[in-house]
């Protein structure tokens, strides 16, 4: 049986800022419905890799191919503080050419933000902003979802909501790349783990679901560099 076309195909990607190479020869695939955790220290290239895959940054060398619409959640909300949650989502829905207003209501409900839909997001807590950013990323029903530290600033209940949403998306066939330091919470969602060390993909392996094992393996790879 032929393997499904990858939802994300990264081929020999290099990226540099000035004279510093931040990504070196990254090659990897992510299948539809698969979640890949990206693990690495600060400056290992996780965020840059996600930005290159999203198309926000051009690779210096190499190529990225995506099997559908991409959604992204990053360190910043990518939204406007002076607008309400509903206005922000309406704006992005319009840019996506979507006319379905009901989807905005559904997303706000799903992320537990329906009760603050008409409040300016400048007044939101970090956790509320993060959940709204996920709602924005899900707006176009993406086939590829890129998440950079998706649980930052979330309390246990909000983290649980996000993890449940990610699980549901996986079942719907959405491919995910998740850069995180919060292994304990997210290791259960991932099929594979990509270990980034100094801009190289040192290993891309099956995930056993044990955060301690992932940390141990990462230390091994760093020591071997």
Kindly indicate which of the ranges 84-92, 148-156, 174-182, 198-206 contains the residues binding other proteins, using the contact rule CB under 8 A. Answer: 84-92
Q: Tell me if 87 contacts other proteins by CB under 8 A.
A: yes
Find out whether 148 and 38 touch, Cβ atoms under 8 Å: no
Q: Which is nearer to other proteins, 65 or 95 (CB)?
A: 95
14's CB contacts (< 8 A; 6+ apart) are 21, 23, 24, 25, 26, 59, 60, 61, 62
Tokens read off for 89: 């989502």
Half-sphere exposure of 36 (CA within 13 A, CB side): 25
Q: State in angstroms the smallest separation of the CB of 126 from other proteins.
A: 12
Q: Tell me if 65 contacts other proteins by CB under 8 A.
A: no
Q: Tell me if 72 contacts other proteins by CB under 8 A.
A: yes
Handedness of CA 48, 44, 178, 154 (dihedral sign): negative
Interacting residue with other proteins among 7, 23, 53, 74 (CB under 8 A): 74
Interacting residue with other proteins among 22, 26, 46, 77 (CB under 8 A): 77
State how far the alpha carbon of 206 is from the alpha carbons of 34, 50, 210, in Å. Answer: 11, 20, 11
Interacting residue with other proteins among 5, 12, 41, 56 (CB under 8 A): 56
Classify residue 39 by burial, with Cβ atoms within 10 Å: 0-12, 13-18, 19+.
buried
> What is the Cα gyration radius of the chain?
17
Interacting residue with other proteins among 4, 63, 78, 184 (CB under 8 A): 78
Q: State in angstroms the smallest separation of the CB of 168 from other proteins.
A: 21
Q: Which is nearer to other proteins, 139 or 187 (CB)?
A: 139
Interacting residue with other proteins among 83, 114, 203, 222 (CB under 8 A): 83
| 3-class DSSP assignment, residue 56 | coil
Dihedral of CA atoms 50, 139, 105, 133 in degrees, nearest 10, equals: 20
Number of residues that bind other proteins (CB under 8 A): 27
Interacting residue with other proteins among 81, 109, 164, 220 (CB under 8 A): 81
Interacting residue with other proteins among 5, 63, 65, 94 (CB under 8 A): 94
Q: Which of residues 108-147 bind other proteins (CB under 8 A)?
A: 120, 136, 140
Tokens read off for 1: 């049986």
Which residues of the chain form contacts with other proteins (CB under 8 A)?
Answer: 54-58, 70-72, 74, 76-83, 87, 91-92, 94-97, 120, 136, 140
């Amino acid at each position: 049986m032929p393997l499904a076309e990858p939802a994300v195909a990264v081929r020999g990607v290099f990226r540099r800022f000035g004279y510093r190479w931040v990504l070196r020869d990254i090659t990897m695939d992510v299948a539809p419905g698969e979640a890949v955790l990206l693990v690495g220290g600060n400056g290992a290239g996780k965020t840059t890799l996600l930005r290159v895959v999203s198309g926000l940054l051009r690779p210096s060398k190499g190529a990225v191919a995506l099997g559908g619409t991409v959604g992204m959640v990053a360190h910043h909300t990518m939204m406007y503080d002076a607008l309400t949650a509903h206005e922000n989502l309406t704006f992005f829905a319009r840019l996506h050419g979507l006319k379905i207003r009901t989807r905005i209501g559904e997303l706000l409900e799903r992320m537990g933000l329906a009760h603050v839909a008409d409040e300016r997001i400048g007044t939101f807590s970090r956790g509320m902003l993060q959940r709204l950013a996920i709602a924005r990323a899900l707006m176009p029903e993406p086939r590829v979802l890129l998440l950079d530290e998706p649980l930052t600033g979330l309390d246990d209940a909000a983290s649980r909501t996000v993890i449940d949403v990610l699980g549901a998306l996986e079942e719907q066939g959405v491919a995910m790349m998740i850069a995180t330091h919060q292994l304990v919470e997210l290791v259960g969602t991932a099929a594979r783990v990509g270990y980034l060390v100094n801009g190289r993909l040192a290993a891309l392996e099956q995930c056993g679901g044990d955060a301690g094992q992932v940390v141990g393996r990462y230390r091994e790879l760093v020591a071997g560099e």
